[in-house]
Amino acid sequence: MNNPEIARLCGQLIQELNKIEDTDELIDCLNDIRSQLHELSPLKRHPVDCVLWVKRDDVHANEWNPNHVAPPEMELLYTSIKCDGYTQPIVTGMHEDNGYEIVDGFHRYLIPGEHADIMNNTLGYLPVAQIDRIRSDRMASTIRHNRARGTHEVELMGNIVKELHDLGRSDDWIAKHLGMDADEILRLKQITGLAELFADKEFSTGEAQHFFALMQTLPSAAQ
């Protein structure tokens, strides 16, 4: 370390931390230190700049994640965490009434609940990075994180588009933040079966024909 004074202070801090015998207290102290250093960081706009260890019981699933991971991939995820540890934090936002609400990492969250060895190894904690976003932005962030991974449930995606619409988000906003094109949004709106989603649209004959042609491409289960 180039700064002798900083090196001296770090040494003193380590000595004090070594005196803490209670594991939960030590983790809390380390989280406080990380949080305070994060405020000084020139990279603090990046959530990964401050990863905290949080009790798993304080972390909760969201209501909208449309991503599905098949059993073989879940087993591989377990093996990865068992062999390599957690290499990616759970991305969360603060829920108004529910503590840490998952934005990305739901399946990483599930693993300790399904495998006692992982729960014991992590002492009942999860690595968490936080984003400060309102609900609609957290929903959009979940989709951005997951679009390239797993299989999205079509009906759940339609419900997300509906809720974003109910929250006042325009089609252009949804397309931009969820990485969708206009046709995909149109299809997902139709899946919800809610005519009010089209109340502000005036379709020409050609557009109507195009819409019904699109509907023929939907999976039968979605229809």
> Which CATH topology does 47-152 take?
3.90.1530
Which H or E run contains 55? strand 52-55
Q: How confident is the model at residue 221 (pLDDT cuts 50, 70, 90)?
A: very low
Under 8 Å between Cβ of 147 and 179: yes
Q: How confident is the model at residue 197 (pLDDT cuts 50, 70, 90)?
A: very low
Q: How far apart are CA 50 and CA 35, in angstroms?
A: 6
Q: How confident is the model at residue 80 (pLDDT cuts 50, 70, 90)?
A: very high
- In this predicted structure, the answer to whether residue 182 has a pLDDT above a threshold of 90 is no
- In this predicted structure, the answer to whether residue 211 has a pLDDT above a threshold of 80 is no
* Residues listed for the chain: 223
- Provide the token pair at 36: 């305070």
Give ranges for CATH 3.90.1530.10 in the chain: 47-152
pTM of the model: 0.66
Q: Does residue 88 or residue 192 have the better pLDDT?
A: 88
Q: How far apart are CA 34 and CA 75, in angstroms?
A: 32
Within 10 A of 80 (CB to CB), how many other CB atoms are there?
15
> DSSP code of 88?
S
- In this predicted structure, the answer to whether residue 3 has a pLDDT above a threshold of 80 is yes
Give the model confidence (pLDDT) of 160-173 as tens digits.
777 788 888 888 88
